[in-house]
Amino acid sequence: MFIKIIKDTKRFFSVISVAFFVFFSANSVFSENDTAYIPFIVNVNAKVIAWHGYDTVSIDVEAETSDTLAIYLGSLTSISAKHDAVRMQGSAPVLLSDSRGNVTLRLPQTSYQNARVSLYSVNGKRIISHKVDASASAKRISTPNAASGIYILSVKGISGGSFSGRLSHKGGKLNIGVSFGAGEAVFPLMKDAYAVAQNDNEDAWTIRVTAVGYTDSTYQFTPEIGMNSVHNITLRRELETMGSFTDSRDGKTYGWVLMPDGKRWMAQNLNYDTLDGTGSWCYENSADSCVKYGRLYNWAAAMDIDASFNNTPWNGSDENHQGICPVGWRLPSHADWNALMAAVGGEETAGTKLKSQTGWYDGDSDYIPGTDDYGFSALPGGRRWNGGSFGGAGYLGHWWSASEDNSGRAYGRDMNYGIQDVFSYWLYKSFGFSVRCLRD
């Protein structure tokens, strides 16, 4: 199939002038009556790419502006060769093969003692043209940076032989090696520049609409000759997978990561000091520990509710509860933690996948290193007992949820330097543990 592109519907019939393009040995004629016109309106500046088998075509479209793709649906003979029967005297036709941008062209001496080898784009622009002579054992013709697409290779011998073949090139350097001798005609299928989608309808084209920073829209479409219906495409912004933000309350900056559960989780433990100076601590009251591990909070401080609820039932909702988290972020519920565990493959291996690769005690044979598969970078901040002593930093990490168990306990998660699991526990509300915040 020969494809052509039209950017403006007002030029439909003026473009027929490109029909002077000669498919060198094909006896088919380009016809406007065999062309499908497909208007596209996209919400952003984008590129529309369509392909079917070895044929591809693309246009650039402006946001909210109708631009039209034209596809020629008529049949053309893609490869053929002819020779003068008298002059050929039974000699073999052209041998053509192709491998990764290297084309081998073997010409019978009888018909191609002297010949011109030319490469054309599908719109008739000559890319390469060289004379070759049988007196030379071989000749290499090349172009350093040929664009991806379909090309026509033409050979014309002064003794009457002529040949043309269609080549599919993926882009980059293209070498054409020419030698002389006999051989059987070989016209191999060449790998398409685009993966052809599986589809039961052999007449369907694959359409892809793409724009930087947006998720592609890819679908199947069977074009009809003449004007087709308008394709209105809305591309959605790609979700960023990681980033950072600044807590407006104290100017501290935190990293975040998009986890497999589809939520953005902080990639560090929270290090915000409560306004009244109670309910949160640095491990062993060391400011360096707060920098490394974040602060430790009792449950009421993590929830940003009255301290009395460390010992009495709160009975509030754990859904979308901001607690001590920055504006726009919230304390994860027990259900949020469960969803995260499921998304990373289950609690049995989540500890290994979520733990930071450094910062955990590694001084004995029990140590199981973290792989930090998603950038969650869990660190062992340890804990504070309600009597004021600390323990476990480097060995253990505990994180609160917004979900209450009873008057004195709430749910949380635990990771250990020598265990690959993440454990779900009820934890005493008066103890001090780490906080991770999330946003949907």
Shared-domain flag, residues 336 and 268: yes
Q: Check residue 391 and give its pLDDT.
A: 97
Q: Check residue 119 and give its pLDDT.
A: 82
- Given a cut of 80, is residue 65 above it in pLDDT? yes
Measured between alpha carbons, how far is 389 from 302 in angstroms, rounded to an integer?
19
CA 122: distance to chain centroid?
Answer: 30
Shared-domain flag, residues 118 and 65: no
Give 136-158 pLDDT, tens digit per residue.
655 778 777 777 777 777 787 77
CA 141: distance to chain centroid?
Answer: 36
φ, ψ (nearest 5 deg) of residue 80: -155, 165
Q: Check residue 161 and give its pLDDT.
A: 67
Measured between alpha carbons, how far is 55 from 167 in angstroms, rounded to an integer?
10
Q: How confident is the model at residue 418 (pLDDT cuts 50, 70, 90)?
A: very high
Supply the CATH number for residue 38's domain.
2.60.40
Q: Check residue 192 and give its pLDDT.
A: 33
Shared-domain flag, residues 337 and 296: yes
Shared-domain flag, residues 268 and 204: no
Q: Which range (26-30, 153-157, 381-385) has the least confidence? A: 26-30
- Given a cut of 50, is residue 94 above it in pLDDT? no
- Given a cut of 70, is residue 220 above it in pLDDT? yes
Shared-domain flag, residues 88 and 175: yes
Instruction: Say what angle helices 347-354 and 334-343 make with each other, to 10 degrees.
Output: 80
- Structural contact between residues 378 and 356, judged by C-beta atoms closer than 8 angstroms: yes
Shared-domain flag, residues 408 and 421: yes
Q: How confident is the model at residue 160 (pLDDT cuts 50, 70, 90)?
A: low
| Domain boundary pick from 233, 265, 300 | 233
For the CA atoms of 14, 20, 21, 23, the dihedral, rounded to the nearest 10 degrees, stands at: 140
Q: Could you please report the per-residue DSSP string of 117-131?
A: EEEEETTS-EEEEEE
pTM comes to 0.53
Shared-domain flag, residues 162 and 222: no
249 occurs within a structural domain: yes
Measured between alpha carbons, how far is 311 from 397 in angstroms, rounded to an integer?
23
Shared-domain flag, residues 316 and 296: yes
410 occurs within a structural domain: yes
345 occurs within a structural domain: yes
Shared-domain flag, residues 333 and 202: no
The rounded mean pLDDT for the chain is 79
Q: Give percent of the chain with pLDDT exceeding 70.
A: 76
333 occurs within a structural domain: yes
Q: Check residue 29 and give its pLDDT.
A: 33
3-class SS at 10?
Answer: helix
Number of domains present in the structure of the chain: 3
DSSP one-letter code for 237: B
Q: How confident is the model at residue 439 (pLDDT cuts 50, 70, 90)?
A: very high
φ, ψ (nearest 5 deg) of residue 45: -60, 130
Shared-domain flag, residues 67 and 85: no
326 occurs within a structural domain: yes
User: How many residues does the structure list for the chain?
Assistant: 440
Q: Which range (91-95, 96-100, 357-361, 393-397) has the least confidence? A: 91-95
Shared-domain flag, residues 259 and 313: yes
188 occurs within a structural domain: no
- Given a cut of 50, is residue 189 above it in pLDDT? no
Q: Domain range spanning residue 171? A: 80-180
63 occurs within a structural domain: yes
Q: Which range (85-89, 251-255, 395-399, 413-417) has the least confidence? A: 85-89
Among 18-32, 108-122, 229-243, name the most confident range. 229-243
Q: What is the mean pLDDT of residues 28-41?
A: 69
Shared-domain flag, residues 156 and 224: no
116 occurs within a structural domain: yes
Residue type, 338: N
Measured between alpha carbons, how far is 423 from 419 in angstroms, rounded to an integer?
10
- Structural contact between residues 79 and 165, judged by C-beta atoms closer than 8 angstroms: yes
